[in-house]
Structure 1
Amino acid sequence: MASVFPVLAFLAVLATALNAGLFFIFSVCIMAAFARLPPAEGAAAMNAINAVIQNPWFFSAFFGGALLSLALAVIGFMQGGSGGMSAAAGGIVFLAAVIGVTIVVNVPLNDALAAAPVGSPEQAALWQRYLAVWTMWNHVRTFGSLAATGLFALTFRQGVPFG
């Protein structure tokens, strides 16, 4: 188990860093740009992104990060030590702050936006709420991904789940 542990940690660093970068660019650029558009255009642009992001590249990083986080959390708890605990913490942070927030907040907001009648007052009102709420929770995903990346980097640096 010890020989696979650093490999899993390294792959988790890559996956969580990819997620952090994606979420960061939404938080600091994309959502601010969309907020400058009329509501129907901003909503249409976001709906287009939500459709095209469902691809093998994104799924590999997102769900790969989740699987690696789960594996490292379990192995880390089982093995203990500082490497094991940093692995477990990284896994828990990613699963809660990224996967949990995505499932509980961001996806339902995406679904509501997609279902809103185009150009309607309901869509315009939803869009204003969406910009604030979705972006705030995206910040949580950004920081959660960064924290998990840091914890997995510490895990990788230690090389084994013991000690």
Structure 2
Amino acid sequence: MSKLVPALTIIAAIGSGVVGGVFFAFSNFVMAALARLPVPQGIAAMNSINITVITPTFMTALFGTGLLCLVLIAAAIMGWSQSGSYWLLAGAVIYVIGSPIVTMVFNVPLNDALAAVDPASSNGAAVWANHLSQWVMWNHVRTVTSIVAMACFIFALL
């Protein structure tokens, strides 16, 4: 177990960093680029992204890292007296709440609402405007928490 936890922590740091990087790109330029498109095109592009992102690689990075964090939460609690346990627990909890949970509770329902609307309708424009503000705000949360989790995992290893 003493060798397994550091290895799992390295994997969690890499996973949270990869996921944070994807979210960082969306927060910093992808969504801004989509917002510049006419509403129907922006909606179509975002809907296409939402379908295309469901790949084994990204799902493993996002949710596999979340599952790994659940293991690390248990390891941190069981080994609380060990050096770095606080950072390990903090990183794992921050990642689980800030990335997979925020994704499922906030971002996915916004994506579903966008997929259900007629892009050419006035309702489509309203849903898109809401999507651009709310989805991006929650994506900022996912970005920050994934990067903070990565930093916590690094501190746990030091």
TM tier relative to shorter chain = over 0.9
Q: Distance in 1 between matches of 2:20 and 2:54?
A: 17
- Segments of structure 2 that go 5 or more residues without pairing to the other structure are none
Task: Using the TM superposition, give the Cα deviation of residue 156 of structure 1 relative to its aligned residue in structure 2, in angstroms.
Answer: 2.3
Shift of 1:83: 1.3
> What is the alpha-carbon distance in structure 1 between the residues aligned to residue 84 and residue 136 of structure 2?
33
Offset, 1:118: 2.7
Give the structure-2-normalised TM-score.
Answer: 0.96
The residue identity in structure 2 corresponding to 1:98 is: S
SS at match of 2:84: helix
User: Percent identity over the alignment?
Assistant: 42
- Show the counterpart of 2:70: 70
Q: Which whole-Å CA distance do the structure 2 matches of 1:108 and 1:156 have between them? A: 36
* TM superposition shift of 1:117: 1.5
TM-score, scaled to structure 1:
0.94
CA RMSD of aligned residues (A): 0.9
Q: Which residue does the alignment assign to 2:121?
A: 120
**Structural mapping, 1:9-158, within 5 Å:** 9-81=9-81, 82-157=83-158
CA distance in 2, matches of 1:86, 1:73: 10
Give the ranges of 4+ consecutive aligned residues of structure 1 lying more than 3 Å apart after TM superposition.
none
Q: Which whole-Å CA distance do the structure 1 matches of 2:32 and 2:87 have between them?
A: 34
Cα separation, 1, equivalents of 2:144 and 2:74 = 22
Deviation at 1:141, TM superposition (A): 0.3
Provide the residue aligned with 1:161 in structure 2.
none
